[in-house]
Amino acid sequence: MTKFFQRITHTQAYDSLLEDSRNKKFIAAFGVQPTEKPFIAANADGFSLYVTSDYVEAQRVLRTVSALRQEVVYLPSKEDVLLYKRENSKNSVYMRNYALYRMLTGATAAVVTAEALMQYLPEKHKFLSDCFTLQKGNGYDRSTLLKSLVECGYTRVDGISAEGEFVLRGDILDISMPFGKRYRADFFDDVLEEIKGAEGDKIEINPLYETTGLAAEKLSEVQKLADRQRVSPDAHARLSEIISELSLCAHRADNAWLIPFVPTSVIFQYLPQNTTVFWDEPKLLWERTEFLYREHAQRVANLTQAGEILPLHFTALAPKESIFNGDFPQIALQTLPYEAAFFHPQAIHNFRTTAVGSYYGGEDRLAQDIRNWKRLDYDVVVLAGEDGAKPVAEKLRQYNVFLAEGEKLLPGMADGLVLSVGVEKGFVSHSNRLAVVGTRDLGRGLSRQTLSKGKKQAFLSVQKGDYVVHDIHGIGLCEGIKKITTASGEQKDYVVVMYKHGDRLFVPADATDMLSRYSGGENPSLSKLGGEEFARVKSKVKAGIKAMSIDLLKLYAQREKARGFRYHIDDFLEEEFQQYFPYKATEDQLKCQKEITADLTSDRIMDRVLVGDVGFGKTEVAMRAAFDVVSNGYQVAVLAPTTILSEQHYKTFSQRMSHFDIRVECLNRFRTAEQQREIIKKLKEGKTDIVVGTHRLLGKDVDFYRLGLLVLDEEQRFGVEHKEKIKSLKTSVDVLTLSATPIPRTLHMALSGIRDISTITTPPMERMAVETFVVEQNDALVADVITRELARGGQVYCVYNRVQSIDSFATRLAELVPQAKIIVAHGQMPEAALEDAVFAFSQGKGNVLVCTTIIENGIDIPSANTLLVFDSDKLGLSQLYQLRGRVGRSDKLAYAYFTYRQDKILNEDAYKRLASITEYSELGSGFKIAMRDLEIRGAGNILGREQHGHMMKVGYDMYARLLKEAVAELKGQKAEQRVVAELDVDIEAFAPDDYIPVQSERIDFYRRLAGCGSIEEIASVAAQVQEVYGAMPRPVQNLVSVARLKLLASSAGVSKVVVRPGRGELVFAQKQYMMNKKVFDALAESGDRVSPSSSGYSLVFSSSDYLQKNRLMQAIEEFLVKLQN
């Protein structure tokens, strides 16, 4: 890994940052995206201490840094530093002490949270003296060794039954450590002759306690402090009880209570001299620690009165000055530029980094991105996960992209490097001319097989705190995972869902496919547990769907039956038309044109969505399609959502068609009544070939002579009535929809295969990305930004989204920048006045447009190249993206400033949105923004009017299923009767917390596994999980076995599977499932080990071979395989 890492990260920008840190104590790196931060920390020459604000982020960083450096440890925080506990987790104590020991003896990096940073640690020298190593070949005094183990917190027993125990039998010493580690030391006399269970030839013993104990005289001093407390008799008695218990046991995990009274250290005292400290978003870290200190102070006050602690326990957390002032070089890694309370940089390094896309089943998109990066002379590295380099390289080779496998990359010999290294997410560092694609960016593999699952997960991921929909019980609130021990002592995971009146449903892991995330509106009403209420709701919704689906069915039926015109493409004429295009078409434009041409030359009516970033050439592709249609004697209608946009399209179409005697007209509010009547007359008579207009084109008085193609620009901007008219047109004419950021509904339909989709992700050669900044608001910044843009002859958008005070805001701007010619525009103005204001700005009659978010669509003004958005934290991600798309429409460098008020604490969602807008600042982000927006907003109404209320009652996913059922019933198709097996299996089947630490990822894994439709899918999910999280522990292997068993049983018509030691049973749902030849043949092969039950339709598995449950499950699985079709 060292050579590879040096190869990709020893760039000028990274080296300059780290070199600066050797000479200056405080360095800030601005513009660093979350996925890049661990790479920078891993690149430090010495030891790296990486501090994050929370556990989830710490785990993400840990996984990445661990893949890039040797010996990386995570130091977890203590569960509590105040309350006395009689028992505590040996695992968590051991993990902390192991991390501390490795930090002192060879680790190269450590990841900690802000909470762990604030907590005291055992005094360094005492801790180190308590740790010891058993080395093969060394001699040990037996009694001294046993005493050392006891002092480290281990318990001597006759037979090991728990972690933290040891037993000595003759010359054999067995030691059981936390996390299932078990070692055997075999002595010959006093010499350690052999070690079993360890990877090397030594065993490292670390303490199992928090702090050292206190001598009796010290504990008596603590008792005197307690006696002086002015508390109730009960509280005083409780204090005395705690101190008495502590005097009986010096070394226990609960000794954190003693922190204020014993020698301690802070983490910086454990660090080597060559350490560099990395602060991940110092502002968030400061706010987190401030909250924890306030919470601590309040708890001390309350618990002191209760007699649980003493006032001195206020000092149980390290003071700020000791955790924020370590004597080491410190680097602040910040996505946004700001100054934190504790961090005052002596030097600032600015980075420009963006995220890479998500390539779920998208080898073609990955190949295209790699070509784009190579065109910009970027180094490209794909981290494909364990054993992933070869298959990824082979798949990309099909798209003429060649990646070198391994660590040797000769210049000019390949497009990039692919390695079998697992890193979750990659990034594109424009500052370093480096593109890194992570394992999860690839969708955990690049096969097309994963596309459907990838799509499903993007829409339906469930997390703790989400509203969810259970197929039977309805809408509830997900409370996360609860581990439950069954009557037979086995552990299983259940997803807990809360319903109305606080009732809770425990959904087993193998049934989580019945859960989906609710999307359809905010804060829905919870359903009543039991299913009857939700069944009535579903029945009403389905009835409503059927009522409105009758006409829709006719519409789609007509469209499927109707045969469109097969257009003939004149290659010579088309080539001549394309020669007048002033730029070279990009590969994506040519690809999309080819796809549209294939639609037009078939007899199938086209309904295609063309997705492309603003200014990426969608209009040119649409004009080429329009030219082909007009060349065949048909008319084209171009429908735009605003008058301004229709004027811009009219100008563009007119210029492009002027060489070919193609007649173009524009129908909108800017035409007089007489002009409109004349245009409508020409349309009807066939004297107009292309008409561009607003919804005026949908008027009842507008008839076409021979309409062939409808081009829709930003379809989501039209009202409900207009959409109904558009929908009716779609049955008879070809439709091409243009969209920069498709609304979730459109995107979902397109990805689901309901509509065809073409994407343009390649920017034109002359286009530059918009320089994006997220900053605190202040008058000096505003005046400077506007003045600089006006000085270069440009125009400025100032987005201020509060209509009631927008005029006073404009007045204040005029005072700040006297030379500004300000025009105000907002949505509450009369429509005509609004369009007049925007039109005046587009004509240069003003140079600053103060407006609300009404400009997010439909304005294309090349001279406007600076955008200021005020209170941007209140806007949605898609809105922010669309607003930024208003600038950078020419070959000038454009600037976008997203501001938020000074001293405002951003909530988590707002922070993520603002971070995302800088993350997705590269050209071609529209598709990625839409995917993110889809996750945030959920999909909308796919059927038109009056259905949104229905969808809110059941959630989008259930609504879509009910729609499918309703349509099938209206078509006279019988609903599929599917048996779903219930499993009653006493076996530990779950994903341990330390295997998949993040709850949402565990839920996601359970749902993916439970939702598999084939054995191959189950194997694929298992392989992907193993690739990301490592070798599967036994409970996870059992979970995969249970999933296979359930799938095979369901397809065989088995309604219940029972597994008990030595006995199993298959209960069939109906007689016909059991009484068939395959069952009889399988019974004959099984001999007396399987037999029909005397009651009901079931088979009993009974044999001495089946005493082990895993063997019985295997036998049942083998039997069920024989019953498959």
- How far is the C-alpha of 598 from the C-alpha of 595, rounded, in Å? 5
**248 to 74, 84, 93, 213, 243: CA distances (angstroms):** 32, 14, 20, 10, 9
Residue 926's pLDDT is 47
**Which residue would you say has higher pLDDT here, 978 or 297?**
297
Where do we find the tokens 């785990």? 59
- How far is the C-alpha of 579 from the C-alpha of 584, rounded, in Å? 9
Q: Which helix (H) or strand (E) holds 116?
A: helix 114-118
- How far is the C-alpha of 96 from the C-alpha of 253, rounded, in Å? 12
Q: Facing residues of 73 across strands?
A: 110
User: Which of 1072, 1041, 1037, 1071 has the alpha carbon at shortest distance from 1057?
Assistant: 1041
Residue 413's pLDDT is 59
From the CB of residue 652, how many other CB atoms can be counted at a distance below 10 Å? Answer: 18
Residues of the chain with CATH 3.30.2060.10: 132-205
Q: Compute φ and ψ for 666, nearest 5 degrees.
A: -130, 130
CA 152 vs. chain centroid, Å, equals: 42
Residue 743's pLDDT is 40
Residue 1084's pLDDT is 86
**Which residue would you say has higher pLDDT here, 27 or 901?**
27
Residue 674's pLDDT is 94
- How far is the C-alpha of 56 from the C-alpha of 76, rounded, in Å? 12
- How far is the C-alpha of 152 from the C-alpha of 148, rounded, in Å? 6
Q: Residue 563: which pLDDT band, with cuts at 50, 70 and 90?
A: confident
Q: Which helix (H) or strand (E) holds 675?
A: helix 673-685
**Which residue would you say has higher pLDDT here, 52 or 68?**
52
For the stretch 197-239, pLDDT in tens is: 766 788 888 887 766 556 556 677 778 787 787 777 877 887 7
User: Taking 60 as the threshold, does the pLDDT of residue 556 lie above it?
Assistant: no
- How far is the C-alpha of 647 from the C-alpha of 692, rounded, in Å? 8
- The upper half-sphere exposure of residue 814, i.e. CA atoms within 13 Å in the direction of its Cβ, equals 13
**Which residue would you say has higher pLDDT here, 685 or 553?**
685
Residue 78 DSSP code:
P
Taking residues 443-472, report their average pLDDT. Answer: 51
**Which residue would you say has higher pLDDT here, 697 or 1110?**
697
- Choose from 410-424, 562-576, 906-920, 975-989 the range with maximum mean pLDDT: 562-576
User: Taking 50 as the threshold, does the pLDDT of residue 1112 lie above it?
Assistant: yes
User: Which of 803, 912, 794 has the alpha carbon at shortest distance from 850?
Assistant: 803
Residues of the chain with CATH 3.40.50.11140: 354-445
Taking residues 999-1019, report their average pLDDT. Answer: 83
User: Taking 60 as the threshold, does the pLDDT of residue 935 lie above it?
Assistant: no
Q: Which helix (H) or strand (E) holds 983?
A: strand 982-985
DSSP string, 933-947: HHHHH----SS-TT-
Q: Facing residues of 353 across strands?
A: 429
Domain 132-205: give its CATH superfamily.
Penicillin-binding protein 1b domain (3.30.2060.10)
What are the tokens at 893? 């460098």
CATH of domain 354-445: 3.40.50.11140
User: Taking 60 as the threshold, does the pLDDT of residue 1089 lie above it?
Assistant: yes
User: Which of 379, 314, 278, 282 has the alpha carbon at shortest distance from 61?
Assistant: 278
CATH of domain 771-922: 3.40.50.300
**Which residue would you say has higher pLDDT here, 80 or 1088?**
1088
Q: For 49-58, 886-895, 967-976, which range has the lowest pLDDT when averaged over its residues?
A: 967-976
- How far is the C-alpha of 899 from the C-alpha of 809, rounded, in Å? 15
Q: For 203-217, 530-544, 554-568, 936-950, which range has the lowest pLDDT when averaged over its residues?
A: 936-950
Helices and strands counted in the chain (H then E): 37, 45
**735 to 340, 636, 730, 748, 1080: CA distances (angstroms):** 53, 10, 6, 18, 56
Residue 458's pLDDT is 30
Domain 605-760: give its CATH superfamily.
P-loop containing nucleotide triphosphate hydrolases (3.40.50.300)
Taking residues 143-172, report their average pLDDT. Answer: 82
For the stretch 344-371, pLDDT in tens is: 888 889 888 888 877 755 678 888 899 9
Coil, strand or helix: which one is 369? helix
- How far is the C-alpha of 762 from the C-alpha of 369, rounded, in Å? 8
What are the tokens at 955? 């959630």
Q: Is residue 92 classed exposed, middle or buried when 0-12, 13-18 and 19+ CB atoms within 10 A define those classes? A: middle
Residue 952's pLDDT is 63
Residue 459's pLDDT is 33
- How far is the C-alpha of 394 from the C-alpha of 400, rounded, in Å? 10
CA 908 vs. chain centroid, Å, equals: 14
Domain 2-128+265-350 in CATH 3.30.450.40? The answer is no
User: Which of 853, 762, 845, 842 has the alpha carbon at shortest distance from 806?
Assistant: 853
Residue 745's pLDDT is 43
pTM score over 0.85: no
Residue 545's pLDDT is 67
User: Taking 80 as the threshold, does the pLDDT of residue 1013 lie above it?
Assistant: yes
Q: Is residue 779 classed exposed, middle or buried when 0-12, 13-18 and 19+ CB atoms within 10 A define those classes? A: exposed
- How far is the C-alpha of 951 from the C-alpha of 964, rounded, in Å? 14
Mean pLDDT of the chain: 80
User: Taking 50 as the threshold, does the pLDDT of residue 750 lie above it?
Assistant: no
Taking residues 775-799, report their average pLDDT. Answer: 81
From the CB of residue 512, how many other CB atoms can be counted at a distance below 10 Å? Answer: 26
For the stretch 80-106, pLDDT in tens is: 777 665 445 566 678 888 899 999 988
Q: Residue 818: which pLDDT band, with cuts at 50, 70 and 90?
A: very high
**Which residue would you say has higher pLDDT here, 841 or 874?**
841
For the stretch 872-885, pLDDT in tens is: 888 877 678 778 87
CB-based contacts of 816: which residues, under 8 Å, 6+ apart?
Answer: 779, 782, 783, 786
For the stretch 104-143, pLDDT in tens is: 988 999 999 999 999 998 888 888 888 888 998 999 998 8
What are the tokens at 129? 């003296």
Residue 255's pLDDT is 65
Residues in the chain: 1125
For the stretch 600-648, pLDDT in tens is: 999 888 888 888 776 788 999 999 999 999 999 999 999 998 888 898 8
Coil, strand or helix: which one is 733? coil
For the stretch 1050-1071, pLDDT in tens is: 989 998 998 887 788 999 988 8
For the stretch 378-434, pLDDT in tens is: 888 888 877 778 888 888 888 888 888 765 555 555 788 888 777 878 899 888 888
User: Taking 80 as the threshold, does the pLDDT of residue 588 lie above it?
Assistant: yes
Q: Which helix (H) or strand (E) holds 839?
A: helix 831-842
Span between the terminal Cα atoms of the chain, in Å: 48
Indicate the residue type of 881. Answer: Y
Residues of the chain with CATH 3.40.50.300: 2-128+265-350, 605-760, 771-922
Residue 7's pLDDT is 56
Assess contact for 870 and 897: CB atoms under 8 A: no
For the stretch 689-705, pLDDT in tens is: 999 998 898 888 989 99
Residue 250 DSSP code:
S
